[in-house]
Amino acid sequence: MKVSLTSSELRVMEEFWRSGRLSIREVLESYPAKKRPPYTSVQGTVNRLEEKGALRRARKIGNAHVYEAVISAQEAKSRVLDDLLRVFGGRAQTVMAHLAESGQLTREDMRQTEKLIEELERRGRLEEKQ
């Protein structure tokens, strides 16, 4: 399932991936006290995530619903990367060039990527795009 998430939705999902089942109050308390949003903001985000199919109600304790993640962190990251590639015309090289020019891609990053590519080639899991 491909679900697009906003940055505030990703922030909430990270708590579920880290902690498992949570109530809205528990998600709210995961924010630093000085940057804690209103309860209703977190509630709205959780409701949107439920509507999108990223979260589901796992059970109810008293008046509080407890939610759990339906999508994995890997699925969400894959969608974000797909969206990013679309912004850059669908080419990973364009993204990498931008990262290199901005100083966010180091030589060590490139070495690690080359090692990963070599490993994928050895396993026969790397497809050549044309």
- Specify whether domain 7-69 bears CATH 1.10.10.10: yes
Share of the chain above pLDDT 70, in %: 95
**Higher pLDDT among residues 86 and 126, named by residue:** 86
Euclidean distance between CA atoms 88 and 81, whole angstroms:
11
| Residue bearing tokens 């966010």 | 104
Give the least confident one: 20-24, 70-74, 104-108.
Answer: 104-108
Query: Where in the chain are all domains bearing CATH 1.10.10.10?
Result: 7-69
Compute the average pLDDT of residues 92-110: 89
Express each pLDDT in 17-62 by its tens digit. Answer: 999 999 999 999 999 999 999 999 999 999 999 999 999 999 999 9
Euclidean distance between CA atoms 67 and 26, whole angstroms:
10
DSSP for 3-17, written as a single string: ----HHHHHHHHHHH
Record the pTM: 0.74
